[in-house]
Amino acid sequence: MDRTRITRKSFLKATGAGAAGAVLLGSSVAAGSRYQSYLPKGGSKMNVILVIIDSLRRDHVGAYGNRWIKTPNLDALAKESLVFSRPYPESLPTICARRAIHTGTRTWPFRNWHPVRGEGYMPWGWEPIPDGQTTLADVLKQNGFANALISDTDHLFKPFYNFHQGFDVFEWVRGQEKDHYKPAWTVSEKEMSKYLLKGNKFRVHDTIQQFLANTAGHRNETDWFAAKVFGGAADLLEGLREKQPFFLVVDNYDPHEPWAPPKKYVDLYDDSYHGPEPIEPDYGPSDYLTEAELKRMRALYSGETTHADRWLGHFLNKADELGVLDNSLLILLSDHGHCLGEHGYVGKPYNALYPELTDTVFLIRHPEGKGAGKKSDYYASTHDVAPTILSAMDISPPAQMQGTDLSPILEGGEPKEKRDHFTLGYDAYVWARDDRYLIHGRYDGTQMQLYDVKNDPDQRHDLAGKHPDIVRRMFRDYVLKDAGGPLPHYS
């Protein structure tokens, strides 16, 4: 059976790389190759590469319409992929989203949740993968895959969270954010003053001090976290190439705060700022920031995004050079976004379920070119990743996996589950949308806001007061129905 596949020299053609320092490939597409030609040597299944990028906003990626943030590698990858135009996390933040990715099971509505001892206050649903729950890595390992994960997300490496399940290699890039990697007391108050703004709270002080201690030795760009994660992943490919089929998870924390990319990336977006660097936001109202500080915060985030994109390109180039892109299903997604003042909030406040926080990136690249260059408005989500990968490998997903197999869309078909709406949860807050309207508010239906997303996609005009009937209907038919009844409450 003749098919078209994407050859190793067809990947990552993009423009505008010079200023961002991106590494890109040429472009050509060969046709008429045999289906069997892309299978790994000695195996009967494709490899799987899963890339997770933390806090990446959809509206900061060129492939999703942005015209001023430089993401040439993401944009090039999107041209070779099926692009989901309306992906959302089924729950957030970090751990909730990753539980869904690794288990294929919805975390929301957070029933029977118990806070993790010793972790301080965490959002509802922030807890380990339950003992005995099968993960995507478990299933692939049982089917002969060599599994590896590399990340700088420190929560993943706390043993009680169980994210190590099923992985042969579990590599931690140390020093990100609040990781107690180096003694924080080595950073003086004078040095701290360069990063503290009027109105910053003690939590920010603590985080910045630890981060500065961890990164004090950064000199060359290869010292930065995105370079270490994607560079380390590229190195792992050398060994994994000999162990095909393999499953590689590359979980990159940037552009999560603190934002401190190499200066050349920040200068792409703001090269005239003078003052303390707002690298760590106070989660909540943005009114403690001056206009100049808010502009600088956006530039720092944008610089982190471009920096991460540059090193994503490095990793993809290596995969191309080794020939494994010819043999691999690649999925790239983000877990959530980040508020940068657009609705009067910065950070990830629970009640700020606006596009800048909820709208994510989701791409699937198939080695045969299935779905390449096409878009789908299906409500793809984090808990769909595991069943999609397993189905693409001709492996039946375990019954626990509630997500939907998205692979039929690659063939021009439709998933079995018809989604005319979507819901998600974040701590005590819920969100729901359909093709016309979007609501968000508290778990009990109070403090609800309503937006006409067809005519007001940026959610500027709250219509809840004018249309309480629509709010009640959506909360009843979407939120309560998807949750299986009234939502739990935790004090």
* pLDDT at residue 366, as a whole number: 97
Domain-ending residue, one of 388, 419, 450 = 419
* pLDDT at residue 247, as a whole number: 98
Tell me the whole-structure pTM to 2 decimals: 0.93
* pLDDT at residue 171, as a whole number: 97
- Give the C-alpha separation, 330 to 269, whole Å: 30
Domain-ending residue, one of 419, 438, 453 = 419
CA-nearest of 355, 406, 305, 336 to 81 is 406
* pLDDT at residue 38, as a whole number: 54
* pLDDT at residue 43, as a whole number: 60
**Segment among 156-160, 380-384, 470-474 with least mean pLDDT:** 156-160
* pLDDT at residue 54, as a whole number: 98
Residue 488 belongs to domain with CATH number? 3.30.1120.10
* pLDDT at residue 465, as a whole number: 98
Instruction: Using the predicted structure, report yes or no on whether residue 216 has a pLDDT greater than 50.
Output: yes
- Give the C-alpha separation, 305 to 337, whole Å: 12
* pLDDT at residue 36, as a whole number: 42
> Do 237 and 250 meet the contact criterion of CB atoms below 8 Å apart?
no
Mean pLDDT of 451-476: 98
> Do 56 and 361 meet the contact criterion of CB atoms below 8 Å apart?
yes
CA-nearest of 50, 46, 47 to 382 is 50
> Do both 391 and 439 map to the same domain?
no
> Do both 438 and 346 map to the same domain?
no
> Do both 108 and 227 map to the same domain?
yes
* pLDDT at residue 201, as a whole number: 75
> Do both 415 and 440 map to the same domain?
no
Per the structure, the complete domain to which residue 90 belongs is given by 2-419
Q: Look at 118 and 142; give whichever has higher pLDDT.
A: 142
> Do both 468 and 357 map to the same domain?
no
The model's pLDDT over 364-408, given as tens digits with 9 standing for 90+, comes to 999 999 999 999 999 999 999 999 999 999 999 999 999 999 999
pLDDT classification of 44: cutoffs 50, 70, 90? low
> Do both 307 and 456 map to the same domain?
no
Instruction: Using the predicted structure, report yes or no on whether residue 411 has a pLDDT greater than 80.
Output: yes
- Strands of 95-244 (E only): list them: 146-151, 169-172
The model's pLDDT over 269-294, given as tens digits with 9 standing for 90+, comes to 999 999 999 999 999 999 999 999 99
Domain-ending residue, one of 419, 448, 478 = 419
> Do both 384 and 465 map to the same domain?
no
How many independent structural domains does the chain possess? 2
* pLDDT at residue 120, as a whole number: 79
∠ CA 280-292-54, nearest 5°, is 35
> Do both 335 and 433 map to the same domain?
no
Strands 429-434 and 421-426, bridge-based pairing: antiparallel
Per-chain mean pLDDT for the chain: 91
* pLDDT at residue 42, as a whole number: 54
Residue 233 belongs to domain with CATH number? 3.40.720.10
Mean pLDDT of 442-449: 98
User: Which H or E element spans position 345?
Assistant: strand 345-347
> Do both 379 and 453 map to the same domain?
no
- Angstrom CA distances, 112 to 125, 156, 295, 489, stand at 9, 22, 41, 10
> Do both 341 and 290 map to the same domain?
yes
> Do both 414 and 435 map to the same domain?
no
> Do 197 and 289 meet the contact criterion of CB atoms below 8 Å apart?
yes
* pLDDT at residue 23, as a whole number: 41
pLDDT classification of 203: cutoffs 50, 70, 90? confident
Instruction: Using the predicted structure, report yes or no on whether residue 334 has a pLDDT greater than 70.
Output: yes
* pLDDT at residue 132, as a whole number: 87
pLDDT classification of 491: cutoffs 50, 70, 90? confident
* pLDDT at residue 422, as a whole number: 98
> Do both 175 and 46 map to the same domain?
yes
